[in-house]
Structure 1
């Protein structure tokens, strides 16, 4: 998954402004980091997205 697709899905789920807030502030248990921290340290976008889906009730059509 490319970062552009990742951010498109985040924005589809949370809205444009809130997606960035979630990425900066919500610590994902599975990753031990926020979305921003995980991506910055080099975690694959697909892995981060799966963690978001598991913890934040993402609808099936966005998975």
Structure 2
């Protein structure tokens, strides 16, 4: 997962709450916010999965998100 895919996935899953979740929610598995983790070089996929765990996102909505459909590029 790339950083851009992570940001699309967060926006797609959390909508209007995406910005506040990435800036304010400290992820238990990482000990920092998603933005802090991104800035520290933590792989976006690891951050996405930690955010999903923290927010109780169902497993069915965790995988393959954030990718652009090749026809949309």
What value does the CA root-mean-square deviation take over the aligned residues? 1.1
Gap regions ≥5 residues in structure 1 = none
Report the TM-score, using the length of structure 2 for normalisation: 0.77
Residues 14-61 of structure 1 show CA distances to partners (whole Å, capped at 9, x for unaligned) of 10x420110000000100000000000000000001101111021334
The ranges of structure 1 where at least 4 consecutive aligned residues each deviate by more than 3 angstroms after the TM superposition are: none
CA contact (8 A) 1:30 1:51 kept: yes
Report the TM-score, using the length of structure 1 for normalisation: 0.88
Pair member with larger Rg: 2
| Alignment partners' CA distance in 2, 1:39 and 1:4 | 11
Say how many residue pairs are matched: 62
- Higher relative contact order structure (alpha carbons within 8 Å, sequence separation ≥ 6): 2
Gap regions ≥5 residues in structure 2 = 63-73
